[in-house]
Amino acid sequence: MTHSLRAVARAFAGAASPGAAIALSLAACGAAQAQEQPWYLGAKVGYTHDSNVFRRNNPEVSDNITSAGVLGGFHWRPGRQHLYIDADAQNNRYDKLDQLDNTSHSVSTGLNWQTVGNLGGSLRYTQRKYLGDFAVAATPADRNLVKGQDATATVRYGYVSALGVEAGASRRKADYTLSLERNVESDVVWVGARYGAGGQLSFGVTARATKDETPLFRPLLPLELTDGVPTLSPTIEPDEGDRRDLDFNVTWQPSGLSTIVGRISLTRQDHTAPSRSDFSGVTGQVTWEYKPTGKTTIRSALVRDTGEETSFLSLTQFGLTGLRFDNNRVNWIGQVEADWEATSKILVTAGLRYIRGTLETLSGQDFSSNQTRLRLGARYQATRAASLGCDFLSDTGSATASATVFGCSAEFVLR
């Protein structure tokens, strides 16, 4: 029960839209409960009020969203293997802005495998479809659905030994119904080595190569509207990206209460589109999970990377669910979350996220924007099968107007 509540809090932390927030929260809750039984099946309903749906000053349009959907999954663990699937589908209806009505869904399936010896690996496929984030520069004020996909395969040798090697490949895609200039397909391959010093500290070096294709890319014009929202050039500049990374990885567990995972990369990325500058510099990310008490967990993350990379973090197990897809040249992402188990049935959550992105305009000048999200929430596990929850979000940004979002949801899961 406790693990189910914590999973719900993590899922809601970065939901891309009110409807998606409830869907992802409930799906995560079901996924955690699946650890108790090999299968689960449930239903969910939710209500959300958004004070400024399009994140615009002129005009500010508020609306109420009702959501209803189903979730289900199956987890099978024969011996050292783990085969799983978690799925969620939800219908989201707007009270006034019915042109935004949509059906969102998420699917995560895969296989974690390990032999008796030193060989192991994983296969994973993740897909999410939801209403796009209106806070992203040049997003149209209409039903703009985004579907993100990530298929990844890894193999490791030296799974339980001090010295190990790993190789993998991934194919990632983002497809929009309206923002076609952000559609991207990405192929990644990597190979690396890891050395674990006594189990509490491990180091690794990885060579990584990425090929990106954005066939309908359109740069921003240097002109800004009265709202501060930039417009797109009518000229299409198909772009191909060629990226090389040398990753230096570290995992450190100074105690049983704290885990730090970090990566620093030397990155070089070249573009074929005239309006997109090449990138050469340092990228990376670090996460820290700290449990000061048995009932409190604090998680923090800091990321600096290109928009092509940060866009797909929400499809991985990195813990930044709901990140927006964008074409930013560089993104800084900072996040802190806290969970407090007030009682055996009540979980209180809080989170703060800051995103700063830099885009280039057609003239070569930079256009920078930032977004800050504050989240507060609580979950009540009424019975083993039924749970209730409410969340409050506050969004502010330099290029978009502020908004507050309040929502409550309920779910019932058989397992």
With cut-offs at 50, 70 and 90, classify the pLDDT of residue 59.
confident
Question: Where do the structural domains in the chain lie, given as residue ranges?
Answer: 2-414
Rounded distance, CA 413 to CA 70, Å? 9
With cut-offs at 50, 70 and 90, classify the pLDDT of residue 20.
very low
pLDDT > 90? residue 14: no
pLDDT of residue 87: 97
With cut-offs at 50, 70 and 90, classify the pLDDT of residue 76.
very high
More confident position, 219 or 209: 209
pLDDT of residue 31: 42
DSSP 288-321: EEEEEETTEEEEEEEEEE-HHHHGGGGGTTTS-T
Q: 229, 332, 239, 233: which is closest to 277 by C-alpha?
A: 239
pLDDT of residue 7: 41
The answer for residues whose C-beta is within 8 angstroms of residue 375's C-beta and 6 or more apart is 12, 13, 349, 350, 351, 352, 353, 391, 392, 393, 394
Cβ(183)–Cβ(175) below 8 Å: yes
**CATH T-level fold of 2-414:** Porin (2.40.160)
Which of 71-75, 93-97, 99-103, 154-158 is the least confident region? Answer: 154-158
Strands 386-397 and 239-255 come out as unpaired
Structure tokens belonging to residue 66: 């009702």
pLDDT > 90? residue 81: yes
pLDDT of residue 224: 58
pLDDT > 60? residue 196: yes
- Alpha-helical runs (H) found in 157-312: 307-310
pLDDT > 90? residue 37: no
Rounded distance, CA 108 to CA 315, Å? 9
Cβ(358)–Cβ(328) below 8 Å: yes
pLDDT > 70? residue 16: no
Which of 25-29, 113-117, 243-247, 397-401 is the least confident region? Answer: 25-29
Q: How many CB atoms lie within 10 A of CB 224?
A: 14
**What digits encode the pLDDT tens for the residues 382-392?**
999 999 999 99
**What digits encode the pLDDT tens for the residues 124-169?**
999 999 999 888 878 889 999 999 999 999 999 986 678 899 999 9
pLDDT > 60? residue 103: yes
The answer for residues whose C-beta is within 8 angstroms of residue 298's C-beta and 6 or more apart is 289, 290, 291, 292, 336, 337, 338
Mean pLDDT of the chain: 87
With cut-offs at 50, 70 and 90, classify the pLDDT of residue 327.
confident
With cut-offs at 50, 70 and 90, classify the pLDDT of residue 365.
confident
The answer for residues whose C-beta is within 8 angstroms of residue 133's C-beta and 6 or more apart is 16, 17, 139, 324, 325
For the chain, give the number of residues.
Answer: 415
pLDDT of residue 304: 95
Cβ(389)–Cβ(411) below 8 Å: no
Q: What is the mean pLDDT of residues 316-334?
A: 79
pLDDT > 60? residue 295: yes
pLDDT of residue 34: 38
pLDDT > 90? residue 303: yes
The answer for residues whose C-beta is within 8 angstroms of residue 186's C-beta and 6 or more apart is 170, 171, 172, 173, 210, 211, 212, 213, 308, 312
pLDDT > 60? residue 275: yes
Q: What is the mean pLDDT of residues 216-231?
A: 71
Q: 62, 23, 66: which is closest to 48 by C-alpha?
A: 66
Which of 56-60, 196-200, 211-215, 277-281 is the least confident region? Answer: 196-200
Rounded distance, CA 109 to CA 74, Å? 9
**What digits encode the pLDDT tens for the residues 256-267?**
899 999 999 999
Rounded distance, CA 328 to CA 309, Å? 10
List, in sequence order, every beta strand (DSSP E) within 138-183. Answer: 145-157, 163-176
